[in-house]
Copies of this chain bind each other. A is one copy, B any other.
């Protein structure tokens, strides 16, 4: 048996986990949970993940792990090579802060359940919902541009090798690509994410719509 992941092709959080598994060289199978059509809310998936989110990771013995960033930390603790976090506490803290700049600040604002509720609560049509998403993706890219300009990637966010920060930053770029946004106003962010997507671990985790 290999690791089994519940994910969805265009889920940014699923992308993060796929890249981490790829970078760690861990084989996995992916089972699709169609979050655009509410499959995350079914009784069957509730048994796997009571938080009704993707991804979930199922280990060989059936143990289930939830929340992309928690799973990345777990992989780092249990399969430490190659490392996805630096060794020094301040560097680890900065890597996590960069990750959370999208995981906690912008990505939650554009997931399907939020887009649906914008329509339900405010009568937002598709164009208005897409404008909402683009606003927050832009805010997130702006924040990354400010952060990365203050400490330029060399060549990745924390140094020589890609890690958790780069994974989350590349996921944010994937959001921008899925919503056909221009990355030119964010040159440091753009260059870093292009560097990530030049790696097979990132490129193969990205869905066809985001290229």
Give the interface of A toward B (CB within 8 A).
46, 50-53, 63, 65-67, 69-71, 73-74, 77-78, 89-90, 92-94, 96-97, 99-101, 103-109, 113-114, 117-118, 121-122, 124, 128, 131-132, 135, 139, 143, 146-147, 150
Contact = CB atoms under 8 A, between A and B. Distances in A.
8 contacts: A46-B146, A52-B143, A66-B97, A71-B93, A74-B89, A103-B104, A109-B114, A122-B128
A10 B137 CA distance: 26
Contacts of A109: 108-109, 114
Contacts of A105: 51, 53, 108
Contact of A70 (B71, B97, B107, B128): B97
Closest 6 CB pairs of A and B: A70-B96, A50-B146, A74-B93, A122-B122, A108-B108, A66-B97
Contacts of A52: 143
A73 B101 CA distance: 15
